[in-house]
Amino acid sequence: MDHLTKEQRHKNMAANKSKGTKLEIMFGKFLWNAGIRYRKNDKSVFGKPDFVLRGSKIAIFCDGEFWHGRNWNIRKNDHKSNCKFWHSKIERNIERDKEVNEELRKQGWKVFRFWETEITVNPDVCLNEVLNYMNRKSTTDEKIAITKMCGGGKISMQMYGPHSLNEDGSIISFEEQMAIVSHYLHNQGNKYAKPYEIKAEGLIEDIYNIHQKKSDIQCVSDVCVQYSLFSDLFAVPFLPIEKPKFTFIDLFAGIGGFRMAMQNLGGKCVFSSEWDVQAQKTYLLNYGEVPFGDITKESTKSFIPDDFDILCAGFPCQAFSLAGKRLGFEETRGTLFFDVAEIIRRKRPKAFFLENVKGLLIHDKGKTIQTILKVLREDLDYYVPEPQIVNAMNFGVPQHRERVYIVGFRKDQNVNEFTYPTPTDTTKTFADIKEKNTVSAKYYLSTQYVKTLVAHKERHAAKGNGFGYEIIPDNGVANAIVVGGMGRERNLVIDNRLEDFTPVTNIKGEINRDGLRRMTPREWARLQGFPDNFIIGVADASAYKQFGNSVAVPAIQATAQEIIKRINLSKSKKYGTDRK
């Protein structure tokens, strides 16, 4: 007998949705976090599946137990009222599901149907069914190539297990899982592995069991097995130092300019963070480590080890909305500098090294730098000498790149003076970093684009402005390479070695015959001091962005050397443990 009135029952039944249910929203988030893009309830696909993956011809249905009749032969007797109506309705739903499955399979679709409790209780199992089907061509005896799996734009293979869930039941993104694993493997055997250890070993167990289609916890705990599973992490050009002189963390890491400089000096990176996916890919290809993502999240900060020596960060320049209100540390809340300062407060490194654009010194009429220095000196109690603008062209790269450096020392290091490095090499010109061989025609400007640049420069010249393109001679020094605006056009060069003027991209007009071209990504890498064995594994657009955002390695290295001279690298009392 129904205990609800007819009106109440009608209201309850009307509230049931046929699409956009909580269950679908939940599973949609799982798919999205796994890097799978889909269409919802695509009307052009028979049966309007809850999720459609057109590229893989996969149709996914999320079925509620009641409406789709799970264990119907047993549960049908649960209906105590209006049985004829409900039996007819649900049995018709069951038949319709079978008809939809059959028709989709005839059309070449792979159909997945997951019950509500399967999704809510074991979402990783449901996800892996889809992912394993998508990767069915991979063989079980392959090594697990993280450099292939974390491929930037499209992740070719992902795996999820019981350990890939957060405490709230949400899925840890695959990039973060690989960040945990790669940091653990590169720090295994020392105290800096501790924050990663428990989670990493669980994830490695999941990946091994799913990949090998068997469960063997004892085998997974074997170090040799772990290294063989992820051997590509150790087949990179710039592996961590085995017997480091000091340790550091790399925040806002980009493609690892700070890391390159610090490793050159004998340092070992024990934590890295970078939110840009394409930059993460370049970092992985060169250092064998996936950086953690958003450093503003407490979950990311929780993985930072204690007792490292130096904090490195090239943080963005942001105004402080509360600046001038004498709130000290709180003035910086909501900015990325706040996160840097908070990590310094918790972990108390022996020293820090911050880099920013030179405009920081005059940003917000000088209030920004005043607030930063006040926090570092007074609230965090570090010795901080006056910031200094350092030009990369004074340290062996032909690029006029001025950046402001801020360094600081913990008071127990007894540092009361600091001298920024003097120029070491001012002789380099573009000829020293120019491509040795003829470059692709795609770097040469079209005649139409040359006309546009000339007209643009003439318009600004008429107004008394100096904006516009610029040609760097072989014996000249490049302007600062930057992202956006006229970054590439301010660093054009003349190169008359091209003989085949057939366009390799869609251009207006034809390739100019004056030899006018952009610098290549490799030339930009050299302008920033990266060696030629640094892997550029992304498209040109991403490469220009990454090198334009990077620090100049030689200038960073020269300054870091002065920092290292002044800190005590012997073992000292621990800092950072349980500091909140």
Residues labelled as active-site residues: 317
Residue whose entry in the numeric block shows the structure tokens 């669980």: 202
Quote the crossing angle between the two packed helices 277-287 and 540-549, to the nearest 10°.
80
Whether 393 contacts 401, CB under 8 Å: yes
Six-digit token pair at 324? Answer: 């001038």
What CA–CA distance (Å, rounded) separates 60 from 254? 37
Provide the residue type at 12 as one letter. Answer: N
Interaxial angle between packed helices 194-212 and 123-134, expressed in degrees from 0 to 180 and rounded to the nearest 10: 60
Tokens 């030339």 correspond to what residue? 523
Which residues are paired to 570 by β-bridges?
none
- Which of these, 352, 428, 412, lies nearest to 573 by C-alpha position? 412
Residues ≥6 apart with Cβ < 8 Å to 546:
254, 255, 278, 279, 282, 538
The letter for the amino acid at 280 is Q
Give the closest residue to 329 by CA, choosing from 318, 316, 313, 340.
340
Whether the Cβ atoms of residue 513 and residue 276 lie closer than 8 Å to each other: no
Q: How many CB atoms lie within 10 A of CB 511?
A: 23
Burial of 122 (0-12, 13-18, 19+ CB in 10 A): middle
Q: Which residues contact 453 (CB under 8 A, 6 or more apart)?
A: 445, 468, 469, 489
What count of residues does the chain have? Answer: 580
CB under 8 A, 24+ apart: contacts of 381-385: 381/411, 382/344, 382/352, 382/408, 382/409, 382/410, 382/411, 383/408, 383/409, 383/410, 383/411, 383/413, 383/415, 383/416, 384/408, 384/409, 385/417, 385/418
- Sequence-ordered list of residues with C-beta below 8 angstroms from that of 516, at least 6 positions apart, any chain: 444, 445, 450, 471, 492, 493, 494
Tell me 193's DSSP state.
G
Which runs of consecutive H residues, i.e. helices, occur in 142-244?
146-149, 174-187, 194-212, 217-220, 223-229
Give the C-alpha separation, 333 to 340, whole Å. Answer: 11
